[in-house]
Amino acid sequence: MNHLPARSNGNRKRSKGAEELQQVYWTLSGYLQQATELYPAPLSVSSCFQTALNIYSDMSLSSTQPPVTMLFWIAHACYRNGLVVVQCSSRNLETIPSDLPQDTVALLLSSNHITKIPGQAFKHLPRLQELDLSRNAIDSVDGNAFQGILDTLRMLNLSHNRLRGVPKEAFARLHAKIGLANNPWHCECTLQEVLRELELDPETVSEVSCHTAVQDEYAGKPVIQVLDSGINFCNFHHKTTDVAMFVTMFGWFTMVIAYVIYYVRHNQEDARRHLEYLKSLPSSSQISKDLDTISTVL
């Protein structure tokens, strides 16, 4: 690697950018060596480096210098069949990286420590076709997580994570083949509606199992097998809702009856006390007799 092929453009600014990236490359060369071992297609460190040089030199034509974080991700970029692939597997990442090359077609983030997919996490990658997030610790997916790549994404791997459920809107209008195996899924109505709209990876679909379910008897069984048998988790949901509504209405009815009984009894006691008070008052006839007696005496 003593001689690096230069691009035909003799722009000094481009050469300066290449020199700066070369310094970054030597710092990250150890990571690049490991990255090439993880690629499904054979790649050399020099090809990774040349890809990084090409991307960076194109960007250096603008007046704005790329951020340092982007240099790191660019240094992990390689060509695969002429397309830009960013290999960041097994990098101890806790969040989805930002400042990735915009022409990234494949983003490999498997075997990290990512816990969630926030909203619009990939909106800056309009060409992304393959996204591997397998073997992380993802337990939540925002409803707008894949906004911006819904039309371009073709492969999405979320296997071996900690997902129990996902919002329906997260995968709405997503046309990618999706891997969801080996997650602790809770089988209920929402998950059923989500799965029926997805194109699951046929090779791993049998490994998408109910870890828990609205009915315990289905725990541990493949979701597709349960659904194909005619089970409808939404019916269980409606029955549970009906029971809850019945219990709530019965409680309110009991409270109303109790209040009416209390109100009637309280009024009866007030009426009784008022009647006793009236009885204790002297009658009008008795008062007139007393007046006649007094007038006679006078």
pLDDT in tens, 68-94: 444 455 555 666 667 888 988 998 999
> Is 4 part of any domain?
no
Residues 6+ apart with CB under 8 A from 47: 78, 79
pLDDT at residue number 288: 59
**Same domain assignment for residues 165 and 256:** no
- CA–CA dist 194, 108 (Å, integer): 24
> Is 25 part of any domain?
yes
Q: Name the domain boundary from 211, 235, 259.
A: 235
- Which residues constitute the domain of residue 287? 251-297
- CA–CA dist 55, 51 (Å, integer): 6
> Is 165 part of any domain?
yes
> Is 245 part of any domain?
no
**Same domain assignment for residues 256 and 228:** no
Domain count, the chain: 2
> Is 178 part of any domain?
yes
The H or E element containing residue 65 is none
pLDDT at residue number 6: 44
pLDDT beneath 50: ranges in the chain: 1-10, 26-28, 30-47, 49-50, 53, 61-71, 239, 298
**Same domain assignment for residues 122 and 78:** yes
**Same domain assignment for residues 55 and 178:** yes
Tokens of 35: 């990255």
**Same domain assignment for residues 146 and 219:** yes
pLDDT at residue number 219: 92
Backbone angles phi, psi at 273, to 5 degrees: -65, -40
> Is 3 part of any domain?
no
pLDDT at residue number 274: 59
| pTM, entire model | 0.60
Tokens of 286: 């008795």
> Is 140 part of any domain?
yes
The H or E element containing residue 17 is helix 12-38
pLDDT at residue number 253: 72
**Same domain assignment for residues 183 and 262:** no
